[in-house]
Amino acid sequence: MRDDRKEMMEQLLHAVRQLEEKVSRAYENETISFSFFNESFDRLQHISRLLQQLQSMQIDELKQQMQRLVDVLSERREPETKEVDAVETREEKVSPERVERVELPGYRNPRLNESIHANDAKPVQERTLKVETPGIASLNDVTEAPPSLLDLKRGISLNDRFLFQRELFHNNREEMNGVMTRLNAFGSYEKAEEYLRERMDWDFDQPVVQDFLRLIKKGFA
């Protein structure tokens, strides 16, 4: 277990034990003071913050493991890419020879076979164009597709999405989707952050809020 995660677990155990001792004393005395509730609520909030930090730490470790796996797979695929490039290069070298080997149709006297010439003219012309202009681009290739709209949700993993939905949007998926749609309309991260600070009743110093802002900023990069 990593040192920072071990230290976080020790803090969590200490906080839980303190809460347990407080509840045990109230149970033995058979009386509950008003301060018991306030202090207990403070302990619970502290435990909740520790759990959130521990969860964020776990998610970061998982992301690092996935990134290392992607790097390993990318290194293994690199030789295959070189082989594909070599095959394409060989095909490009062969294609001109294929064009030179095309046999053109023989000469026909238009006065003797006008009907035959009229019927065969179009297929011969099409075959000639296909041979001489193999690289003509289609209309779809020439016309550039319009840029796609910004989708911030695509940059948030499924685990993070559940975490933000539960901790920041009252476990309401429609509320979260509505806010994400509104953020997509802004042209910069600064305007998106300003909107969140004005509209959302969050503690922007909490780790979960900082993680959310970091992912939103990454989406605008």
CATH of the domain at 53: 1.10.287
Residue 109: the pLDDT is 54
Please indicate, yes or no, if residue 198 is contained in any of the structural domains.
Answer: yes
Residue 72 placed within a domain: yes
The DSSP 8-state label assigned to residue 149 in this structure reads: P
Using the 3D structure, point to which of 54, 79, 104 is the last residue of a domain: 79
Q: Final residue of a domain: which of 46, 79, 112?
A: 79
The domain boundary, picked from 79, 94, 118, lies at 79
* pLDDT confidence tier of residue 154, bands split at 50, 70 and 90: confident
Question: What domain range is 174 assigned to?
Answer: 152-220
Q: What confidence tier does 206 reach under pLDDT thresholds 50, 70, 90? A: very high
Contacts of 157 (CB under 8 A, 6+ apart): 59, 63
Q: How much is the pLDDT for 202?
A: 94
Decide if 14 is inside a domain: yes
Cα angle: 67, vertex 71, 75; to 5 degrees: 170
Structural domains counted in the chain: 2
- The answer as to whether 138 is a domain residue is no
The answer to whether residue 129 sits within a structural domain is no
Do the domain assignments include residue 136? no
Of residues 112 and 155, more confidently modeled: 155
Residue 214 confidence class, pLDDT cut points 50, 70, 90: very high
The alpha helices in 101-205, defined as continuous H runs, are 114-132, 139-142, 158-168, 173-184, 189-199
Kindly state the average pLDDT of the residues 31-47: 85
Q: Would 118 be classed as within a structural domain?
A: no
